Amino acid sequence: MLTKNSQNDSSFKRQPKKLFYLIFIALFIDLAVIANAYLTIRIGPLFKFSVTLFIYFLAGYVLGGPLGFVVGVLSDVIGFFAMPDGVFNPYIVLASGLYAFIPGIMFGFKRPFNREISMKEIAVKGSLACFICYLLCTVIITSFGIWQFTSATSSIHVNHSSLLAWCVYRAGVQLPNTVVNCILSILIFIPLRRIKFMKNYL
């Protein structure tokens, strides 16, 4: 039976971990908003190259799927209202959350900072997570959202005869952006795994 002192000690030990997650949730949201607003290279009116996906992937790896999803959704919503860019699109908000959720659940309760997980496993699971995000979030959800929320007289509908054609087109155009963000999200763990204090909270 736990004594009052042992219960207090257990509660005290949990506090730094909660504080750690709160700090990192706020940090990842800030980084994603800044990256989307200031570290983005636009290619045409609807395409852009950004490291935002890298931040979402990293948030999922560090915080886990559910909290990563929160980071993706909140950063996209906050970013839109802070610096509006076109029409608010709930499909893109959903995709942003999944960009962090999917990498998070790929590792289950084992985080990549845990040295029991090899860099090879990180590379394999990380690449698989990126591939799933690319197909589900970029090619399907985001493409569908842009198609739905864009006027029927726009160049999208004029130049692409169907939603399928539009998705195939975006699959090719957005592939380099996904590949670069995927590579960054895996390589970042080479230096991060050397940070001892991270292991204590994950």
Q: Convert the pLDDT of each residue in 88-111 to its tens digit.
A: 999 999 999 999 999 999 877 556
Contact yes or no for 62/202 (Cβ under 8 A): yes
Look at the block and give the residue holding tokens 């915080």.
63
Q: Which residues pair with 48 in a beta bridge?
A: 42
Question: CA–CA separation, 165 vs 153, rounded Å?
Answer: 16
The domains located in the chain, with CATH, are: 16-201 (1.10.1760.20)
pTM for this entry: 0.83
CA distances (Å), origin 123, targets 5, 58, 70, 107: 44, 13, 24, 11
Of the spans 42-56, 92-106, 140-154, 161-175, which averages the highest pLDDT?
92-106
Q: For tokens 């009116």, name the residue.
A: 45
For the chain, percent of residues with pLDDT exceeding 90:
49
